[in-house]
Structure 1
C-alpha cells in the first residue's frame, strides 16, 4: 500500500514537472531546434547513423563468430583448466 502511494506520488510529480517544462519550452522558442541547427547537425547525425549501422552489423558478425568459433575455444580452455585469457 505504501509502495503504491509512493509510486503514484512520484508519477504525479513527474507529470507536473513535464507539464511545467512544456509550458516553459513553448514560451521560449529560442531554445527550440531551428532551421540553422538542422543544417549544422545534418552531417554529424548522418555520420552517427552510419556508424551505428556499422556497429550493429559488426556486432552481428562478432556474435556469429563467437557462436561458431569463439565459444568452442573458450570451452576447451575451461575444460583444460586454462583460465588465463591473456596467455596465447
Structure 2
C-alpha cells in the first residue's frame, strides 16, 4: 500500500500516510471489519490488527497498523461497473 502511495504522491507525501494514521481510525476499521462475514484471511488480519505480532508466529504477520490498513480493502466497496466496466473504458 505504501508503495502505491509513493508512486502516486512521491515519497515525502506518502510517508505521511502512516505518520497520520491515528489509533482511532485503526480501532474503527477493526470494529467495522468484525461485522463482515468471516473468512480465514479476514480472521488473520483482524488478529494481527488487534494484537502485536510475536517472534514465535509460524507465518510472518503484518504489524497492527499495516493490518488495519489492509482491512480497509475488505471494507471498501468494489468499483462501479466491476472489471468489465474498466476494460471497456480503455477501448
TM-score (norm 2): 0.26
Higher helix proportion (structure 1 or 2): 1
- Which of the pair has more CA radius of gyration? 1
Query: Of the two structures, which has the highest relative contact order with CA contacts closer than 8 Å and spacing of 6 or more?
Result: 2
